[in-house]
Amino acid sequence: MYDIAVIPGDGIGKEVMDATLQVLDALDIKFNYKEARAGEKCFRRTGTTIPDETIQIAKDCDASLFGAVTSIRSQKSAIITLRKELDLYANLRPVKSYPGVKSIFKDLDFIIVRENTEGLYSGIEKETEGGATATRIITTKASERICKFAFEYAKENGRNRVSAVHKANVLKKTDGLFKDTFYNVAEGYDGIETNDFYVDATAMFFITKPQMFDVIVTTNLYGDILSDEGAGLVGGLGLIPSANIGKNNGLFEPVHGSAPDIAGKNIANPSAMILSAVMMLDYLKEHDAARKVENALMKVLSERKVVTCDCGGSATTMEMALEVKSKIESK
């Protein structure tokens, strides 16, 4: 049995979470779900976007499923706080083409490994006379462990190339350190091809020839931006999962946000949340179960009979999830 922290959050978070838990119930695996609060609704009730209790539940569980939260400008980010508190230093964002989904490219399968703890997201900002400044933190320790993570991921998943993305021609000290660390780490991985690109060039290559990428490793802000661009190549944010992984914990979330404009309508695509659960299953070493769920979802998407409106159908969030569940159970 696995203890799983379930953090639905705001907006469509609860809808896609409920749908995904229905899918997981089709597996021959026992999960003990421990629900916890975070986000705007939590703030209105408790005065904080992320209670200490939620952080502790996530720390104590085998893994966490996170739905979506609505951010509050004056308050700390619930998801960034969780990443820091659990030291979830690696963010994984697959960019993969799915059958039956309208997209720019039909043959993509690469992954972005994003450093998750520092960079401009360190939150060190201050107002100055006439403006404001933000401090960008890049350390050897964080750069080394994210690069090692990327190479280990490539090695374990049969991937042949790791590309570093940076802007060392301008940010000579910070991105220069990241680039140098990348090549230092690469020396320990014979047989894996390495190269590096400027972030602006990478953004162009995503549009012109994204098939050239296999594993990308990069810093926090670049990874965030490129991940959303990658999602646009394969059908949008409603189909993209993510994993946040550290030494002792893993947290898995879709990247589409709380979508308050459609919240409560039961029309949100549950695919990203379901695929985040697939990444969780792989993290738990339940690889056969992960493939069952992934293959069932792929079949539903390719058939296009019971899919949500963004995929050209008319199904509700739960109807699509129950169709995925039925595919698992039928096998």
Active-site residues, by number, are: 121, 167, 200, 224, 228
Strands (E), the chain: 2-9, 31-35, 63-68, 90-96, 109-115, 125-128, 131-134, 161-166, 193-198, 215-218, 241-245, 250-254
From the list 187, 288, 260, 231, the residue with the least C-alpha distance to 93 is 231
From the list 327, 276, 273, 275, the residue with the least C-alpha distance to 300 is 327
Spatial distance between the Cα atoms of 101 and 120, rounded to a whole number of angstroms: 34
Spatial distance between the Cα atoms of 308 and 184, rounded to a whole number of angstroms: 46
Amino acid sitting at position 14:
K
Residue 228, C-beta contacts closer than 8 angstroms, at least 6 positions apart: 237, 255
